[in-house]
Amino acid sequence: MRTNAFDLEKAIAAWRNSFAHTRSFSADDLEELERHLRDQTAALVRSGLSEEAAYRQAQLKIGDFGSTETEYRKVRLGKLKQKHILSETLLWYQHMLATYLKLALRTMAKNKLASFINLAGLSVAIGCSLVAFLFIDFFYNRDTFHENASSIYAVHSMYQTGNDVQEWASSPLPLGPMLADAMPAITNMARIVDGSAVMHVGDQVFTESIRFVDPAFLEMFSFPLAHGRPSALYDAQAIVLSAQLAQKYFGDTDPVGQSIDLRLSNGTDVTFTVAAVAAPFPDRASFWFHALLPFDQLRALGLDFDDWQQNTRTTFIQVDAYTALPEIERQLATALPAQHLADPDRPIESFRLESLVSLARKASSIRDNITFLTMDPAQAINMAFSGLFLLLLACFNYINIAVVTATRRLREVGIRKVVGSNRVQLVVQFLGEHILLCTFALLCGTALGHFFFAPGFNALFPVFNLSLDLTESTLAWFYMAGILLFTALAGGLYPALFVSQFRPLSLLRNQLLQGGKQRFTKTLLVFQFALAFFAISNSFVYFDNQEFQRNRGWGYTQSHRLVIPLTDAQQFTLLDNELRMLPGIAQTSGSVHHIGRSRDRATVTVEDEPYEVAAYRVGQDYLETMAVRAQAGRFFDEAYPSDTQQAVIINAAFAKRLGWSEPVGQFLRIGSTSLQVIGVVEDFMTNPMRASDPALFRLAPDQEARILLAELAPGEALATATAVEQIWRTNFPDLPYTGYFQDTILDAFYNVMDNLATVSLFSSFISLLITCMGIFGLISLTLSKRLKEFSIRKVLGATPKNILYLLNKGFIVILLIALFFAIPMSYFMLDVTMGALFSEYTPMHVAPFVWSTLILIVTACLTISSVWRKATRTNPAVILRQE
Amino acid sequence: MIGKALVAASLKPLMLSVLSHGEAYGYEIIARIEHLSGGKLSWTAGTLYPVLHRLESEGLVESFWRPSESGPRRKYYRLTRKGEQALASEKDQWMDVHALLLKLWSPDFSFGDS
């Protein structure tokens, strides 16, 4: 017998062993399978095979181990898995997240400097961008507190002037009622006409602005009332006060039912009863009122309600269905002929409905709008850019520092990869760390913005009350989430992708630790330097321009000119006579309109071409007293009696518009009156932001004077002004004195401009700070990587200078590249923005750019040398002995 | 030979049908199917048993051990009440498909008829 004869029992036992090592088969399963194998073998033996061949074939028929095991496992473990999979996975995730969190916190703690720089830079940038967001949000979402905001429309008039169409907030007086009568879809209508009146309460006398409104005004708009009801204005003798005015006249007592005496613009005295008092107006109100009077009072003032030539300040309608708008627009068009007939010189091209919701947003392109604080879209874009700009700067910083920090963790990444992390997991882990840091930064930044930056901004610009209200504004939540996403992704995605891309072997072999060319990091640095340069040069140019604006000529002499507004015509002769006797008064003049205070508009026709111009009606000596500069011809003169009716003086802008090289002697027409140009004056400034409007002056008799202009002798101006006030008080004890110096009229404007310059200085400081922190962080990290190298160099005899050169080399080259791009870009951008903001602005000097360059280079060098000292002071022996 | 997809699809109805003729053990089921199909359908143990076990866990069949004269004991399977119902439903579905195929394959069939 051969000893290696086939033994079925042994073969089966071996087979069984090979199956038993996995948990996929239970003992029962194996027993069943074994019996199957035996049956199969027996059947094959019966069919004539040898025992060994039969067994081999039977084994084959059972199937290969792999697929059999898989099938068994599916059935056996299926149920088990389903039950536990969820909780088990959650448990794993919990462990994983906890580990990630621990790792993140440890990494942050280990790189204290880098974490701090990232956190601080991001927080400051987020805080600043929050202010920008609040600012833009403030302008874009106003008036929405009115419950009917979405169904209220303002009716605006479109005028064709030259080639462009102007939108005016006004519309003809009879239009509102006509529309409301014709269209049932219009549920309410309110017109606004502005005026002023002298208000007497007890011994208090002040001139106050008055808004005449239709009685439905308070019902259409939801101005919250402190006392009284929205129906208050239906009473013809009612007056509604703002909270501020009620406080001024009545203190904290409820003034409803109290009487107020008003001297209206026609000189009559009327007594009104306080019917309601508004609560302080919401911050988001784009327009409001000081005092409201019923519209019908205008009739008493001689206004003809059927006169299509008369205009309201603006007209609002409330519409019950959006679908009625096209029908209303058709109805509006039918009103045009009546207006054209009444005012052929100033025909309205068409009417336009402007929703209350978007009214304030579009105010900068609407003439004579009622919006308080209009904002040019350019300003909003500017603000948005500043916010984004700082965020970008901080993100660039972040990316750079994060990449360098991450390269220190390449070994960790290598180990994780070897142990089985896939790329997605690594990216998630790294991004998670960034999200954690960004969340911290978001919290800190929001706190900074809310508690410091926004209040600071409000202090600079008291008309604003920017504050973050997360309970009110869902937009703010979106904004915060957006910022988190933006900073985390913008700052974290690249580093995460960067570190996860390498092959573990090269990571562990240390091939990448010394870094490649870091092209990305360097590009970002170029951007960072360029942005910082732009911010710095921006604030230099701002301050330069500020100086320029202050010293820029106004086109007339603004100093020592006292302006005394008059309430009626009789006052002029009386005051004028008394003032002339004062020794400190050099010259006086009466005037209807006054530069920087009031003006009319006129449609001038020259050769059948209409021109829209500002029209001033002035007294005989007005132009001399104001010292407006003559360019050609002469001023008004008593020697020419024809001046009173037929003479006109135009400004240079108008002459240019008309294309006249020799304007004196030319004729132009206003309505049916033909006028001859007797003089041309230089352009004078009314708004420093805009180029001079075309303007003309006509003579007005002293009996119509609304202001008295006095030129004071230099040296005793203040004393004279006090004397003038005294004269007023003696003559008109019951009228308020409202005189002012002409050179103060732009104070508010300059103040705002100063504050804007402060804001730009602040933002350039912040961007410089962020950039410095960035360089500092980056170079510290570089240094720590190259400390050994430097130590060896030192041992071999390198001087501190050599090391400074090595440290600086890269950065200075980058800085120079950045400057190469930044200087022309900044020059161009600033020229464009200044040109958009001001009609005349400071000529672009070299100085701001030289200064900015110096500041940037010096701060960069200072930052670098602070690190350099560390490098030179360390003992090379200590460093080299490590590891 | 029969395609893989059809083998997989027919596993359950075939097993239930074999068991509807009385209890059987795994090898017996494979042998009967192989015999009946004339060798066209031949299951491996690795395919059969997991499916049987799944049917058991679904409650369509039940199993029990029975001693054997020709060697160690065998595990037998039989249809439960629930299994009978499942088979009836399977039968309907197969017959529907079958009837459809017959109709489509009949020589004088055309879509214009009905």
| Yes or no, beta carbons of B71 and A38 under 8 Å apart | yes
Q: Give the closest-approach CA distance of B91 to chain A in angstroms.
A: 25
For residue B77, the distance in angstroms to the closest alpha carbon of chain A comes to: 12
Scanning every residue of chain B, which has its alpha carbon at the shortest distance from the alpha carbon of A79?
Answer: B57
Are A781 and A405 in contact, with CB atoms under 8 Å apart? yes
Task: Using the predicted structure, report yes or no on whether residue A646 has a pLDDT greater than 70.
Answer: yes
Distance from CA of B82 to the nearest CA of A (A): 20
Write down the pLDDT at residue A194.
92
Average pLDDT over chain A, rounded to an integer: 85
A42 touches chain B (CB under 8 A): yes
Cβ burial of A767 (10 Å; 0-12, 13-18, 19+) is: buried
Residue B39 with chain A: CB contacts under 8 Å: none
Q: How many CB pairs under 8 A join A and B?
A: 64
CA dihedral A454, A459, A460, A463 (to 10 degrees): 90
Helix or strand or coil: residue A316?
strand
State mean pLDDT over B22-44: 89
Question: Average pLDDT, stretch A67-79?
Answer: 75
Higher pLDDT, A836 or B13: B13
pLDDT per position as a tens digit, A152-208? 999 999 988 767 788 999 999 999 999 999 888 999 999 999 988 889 888 888 889
In this predicted model, what pLDDT tens digit does every residue of A417-453 receive, in sequence order?
888 778 888 888 888 888 888 899 999 999 999 999 8
Determine, for residues A63 and B70 on separate chains, whether the beta-carbon distance falls below 8 Å: no
pLDDT in tens, A727-758: 998 988 878 888 999 988 888 888 878 887 88
Mean of pLDDT values over A77-101? 70
On whether any CB of chain A is under 8 Å from the CB of B27, the answer is yes
- The reported pLDDT for the residue numbered A1 is 43
Mean pLDDT confidence for B39-59: 87
SS3 A598: strand
CA closest to A42 among chain B residues? B70
Per-residue pLDDT, averaged over B1-20, amounts to: 88
DSSP state letter for A449: I
Residue in A43, A61, A71 nearest the CB of B50: A71
Q: Using CB atoms, which residue from B28, B45, B75 is nearest to A63?
A: B45
pLDDT at B78: 93
CA distances in angstroms from A375 to A137, A462, B111, listed in the order given? 12, 16, 74
* Lowest-confidence pick of A213-227, A482-496, A514-528, A569-583: A514-528
The average pLDDT across A692-718 equals 89
Residue A509: pLDDT band with limits 50, 70, 90:
low
Residues of A with Cβ-Cβ distance to B31 under 8 angstroms: 43
Set of chain B residues whose Cβ sits within 8 Å of the Cβ of A32:
26, 49, 74-75
In this predicted structure, the answer to whether residue B113 has a pLDDT above a threshold of 60 is: no
Q: Is A31 on the interface with B (CB under 8 A)?
A: yes
Strand order in the sheet with B71-79: B24-25, B71-79, B61-68
Q: What average pLDDT does the segment A410-422 reach?
A: 80
Q: What is the DSSP string of A463-530?
A: T------TTT-HHHHHHHHHHHHHHHHHHHHHHHHHHHTS-HHHHHTTSSTT----HHHHHHHHHHHH
Residue A31 Cα, gap to closest chain B Cα (Å): 8
Structure confidence by residue, pLDDT tens digits, A104-161: 888 888 778 778 888 888 899 899 889 888 888 888 888 888 999 999 999 999 988 7
Collect all residues with Cβ–Cβ distance below 8 Å to A428 and sequence separation of at least 6: none
CB–CB of B72 and A42 under 8 A? no
Contacts of A46 (CB under 8 A, 6+ apart): none
Asked if A682 and A629 touch (Cβ cutoff 8 Å), the reply is yes
Q: Region A873-878: what's the mean pLDDT?
A: 77
Residues sharing a CB contact under 8 Å with residue A545, sequence separation 6 or more, in sequence order: A834, A838, A841, A842
Could you tell me if A26 lies within 8 Å of chain B, comparing CB atoms? no
Q: What is the pLDDT of residues A594-615, one digit of tens each?
A: 998 888 888 888 888 888 899 9
B82 Cβ under 8 Å from any chain A Cβ:
no
Cross-chain Cβ contact B57/A34 below 8 Å: no
The tokens for A48 are 């004539």
Q: What global pTM score does this model have?
A: 0.68
CA distance B26 to chain A (A): 7
Please state, in angstroms and rounded to a whole number, the distance separating the CA atoms of residues A515 and A499.
11
Distances (CA, A) of A136 to A129, A374, A391: 10, 12, 16
Verify whether the Cβ–Cβ distance B50 to A75 is below 8 Å. Answer: yes
Spacing of C-alpha A284 from chain mean position: 15
What average pLDDT does this structure show over A607-625? 89
Over residues A279-300, the pLDDT tens digits come to 999 888 889 999 999 999 998 8
| Predicted pLDDT at A564 | 92
Q: Which of A43-47, A73-77, A380-384, A804-808 has the lowest mean pLDDT?
A: A73-77
Beta bridge partners of A655: none
Residues of chain B positioned with their CB less than 8 A from the CB of A83: none
Residue B67 pairs in a beta bridge with none
